Amino acid sequence: MISTVLLVSSGFGFMAEALDSNLKMQGFTTGFAQNKVRSIKEKKDGSDIILLLAGDFVYDSAETLVYLKDITEDGSLPLCAIGHDEELEAIFHYIPQDNFLKIFRRPFDAKHIAEEIRYIAKTEEESEGGKKILLVDDDPLFLKMLQGWLRDKYNITAVKSGMQAITYLANHSPDLILLDYDMPITPGPQVMEMIRSEYNAKEVPIIFLTGKSDRESILRVMKLKPQGYLLKTMTRDDIVSAIDNYFRTHRWDNYG
């Protein structure tokens, strides 16, 4: 969920202060960064969205705009902008318009923008909460732990074997399958082949869960061409963040 907004501008003047105040009234945590790469680098960690308040600086800030493009283009850190038409056109020269989650044109009402961002945050939360994840793992303790980590954000179904997974998938279509690689009787790779042969489930993304982090084991996992893998040794925050990011961007970065 979007909870922390990083405001990027040339200075903390009247308009920036009004935005900051209204965002806080909407329940957000806020941060401020100067329109310089170094300042944004220092402040971006922990932010859930960047709000760029444009000004004359955009005509002479190619490095900053390219940097913003690089850190936001995968969608994991949403970007919004406020500016006059001419300022926005200058920004679009470096950052494609499609990269922006929302564009606000001047003159603007700070209260309205804060309310719009609150709406965006709520939509993101509802979108995440509506996603369905199937967990497949023969380890009941790990299964229970992972289910507990994810159930506050997602609709979770947990099964203890590949055959239970196939039975479930005959009548259900989850948005993501987290599949244990090293299960007995029917190992993860075999379960994946069975899932891919099922018409209802062949397009469902599969992420392997593995406790092995050595290069040989990881290469063996990825040879099967799942969407990716997660190490079971990862922390709760890292696992939840990885899944949040996948649903936000529809791209998977392997972790571990």
Main-chain dihedrals φ then ψ at residue 60, nearest 5 degrees: -140, 35
Looking at residue 220, its pLDDT comes to 64
Looking at residue 137, its pLDDT comes to 92
237: its two tokens:
């925050």
Write out the E strands in the chain. 4-9, 29-34, 49-53, 79-83, 102-105, 132-136, 155-159, 176-180, 206-210, 228-231
> Any idea which architecture 4-127 has in CATH?
3-Layer(aba) Sandwich (3.40)
Is the pTM higher than 0.85? The answer reads no
Looking at residue 16, its pLDDT comes to 95
Looking at residue 256, its pLDDT comes to 47
Can you list the alpha helix ranges (DSSP code H) found in 151-235?
A: 162-169, 188-197, 215-222
Tokens 């957000």, located at residue:
28
33: its two tokens:
């960064």
194: its two tokens:
């069975």
Non-local CB neighbours of 46 within 8 Å, separated by 6+ positions = 4, 31
Domain positions in the chain: 4-127, 130-249
235 near 216, Cβ under 8 Å?
A: no
Q: What are the pLDDT tens digits along the chain (256 aa)?
A: 568 999 999 999 999 999 999 999 999 999 999 999 999 999 998 888 999 999 999 999 999 999 999 988 766 688 999 999 999 999 999 999 988 989 999 999 999 999 999 988 877 666 556 789 999 999 988 988 998 898 878 888 888 888 888 888 887 889 999 999 888 888 888 888 888 887 677 788 999 888 765 666 556 656 667 777 888 888 998 899 889 888 887 777 655 4
Reported CATH class of domain 130-249 = alpha beta
Looking at residue 250, its pLDDT comes to 76
The answer to whether domain 4-127 and domain 130-249 are alike in fold is yes
